[in-house]
Amino acid sequence: MKETTDIDILVSEVGPRDGLQSVKATLPTELKLEWISALAGAGLREIEVGSFVSAKLLPQMADAAEVVAHALTLPGLFVTALVPNLRGAEAAFSAGIHKITLPISVSEQHSLSNIRKTHAQLLEEVQAIVALRNERFPQVQIEAGLSTAFGCTLQGVVSDDETMAFAVKMAELGVDEVGLSDTVGYANPTQVRRLFTRLFRELGPLAGSAHFHNTRGQGLANVVAALEAGVKTFDGSQGGLGGCPYAPGASGNIVTEDLVYLLESMGLRTGVDIDRLVAAREVLRRGLPAEPLYGFIPDAGVGKNFTYAREAV
């Protein structure tokens, strides 16, 4: 997404993809469209609306093209999707997507579990996707999201050098940005600050977003550490929905509502209206009544002393 001057931090909502792919029930398409409209209406400017993957593997994502078509009608919304392979990339490009995110597992065991590819096969796939984009869809941005960048439930420790080697390789292959994902909730603030500082040093403007899970309660602490390292884009999922179906023990993402409150209370403009954001949860309650929704702000409110960053003197 292009930088704007009226916000300080971009909050990228990934619930319609990361959240919905991780629950057993399938949210009906009409409710999915209503939810995305409500999220955009609350001021979210970037939404990952789905994943272009086999409907047999993830039936929750079978309507991805229809969802993208709707999202593209929402004024000012930057529409993104996850793409695991060349076939999915071509479908996403043809649907008119603004940006695709490639799930690049630093852990080869996770790569085999998640997208059934060795590292060698994965690099060939990235090269083919970038070539297709360059030849036929030059307007589309490509992000490499480095999964298990901070550790893996299958491999265990993932070293900084392993993560940075993949980051540099993605840049060499021609992606537009590289983000770091704490897929299984292993990251801690010291590690986050260290890795993102190194990512900016190695890649400069290609250093991208932070994607944290709150599996062990470190999510928002990791956001603060990433802010200190210079990160300007953070993923969040409404209600804390999400996880990774191919990583045992990986629970939900950080809660978008709590993330926005944290940033705004720190004096950082997000452009998001918290009341309207919380109200958007009602669509999930109707469509996924058995699914628990998390978050402190939806329960406690923002408090009488709260002031949006844009209103602060």
- The residues carrying an active-site annotation are 244
CA 67 from centroid of its chain's CA atoms: 17
Contact 184, 247 (CB under 8 A): yes
Cα dihedral angle (5, 207, 246, 278), rounded to 10 degrees? -20
Residues in the chain: 313
Neighbours of 248 (CB within 10 A): 10
Q: Is 295 left (phi over 0), alpha (psi -120 to 50) or beta?
A: left
Q: Which residue has the tokens 């509502």?
A: 257
User: CA-CA distance, 141 to 80, in Å (whole number)?
Assistant: 9
Contact 47, 33 (CB under 8 A): no
Nearest one of 237, 232, 196 to 214, comparing CA atoms: 237
List 81's β-bridge partners, or say none: 50, 100
For the chain, what is the radius of gyration of the CA atoms? 18
Give the contacts of 145 (CB within 8 A, at least 6 positions apart).
82, 101, 102, 103, 104, 179, 180, 181, 209, 211
User: CA-CA distance, 243 to 214, in Å (whole number)?
Assistant: 10
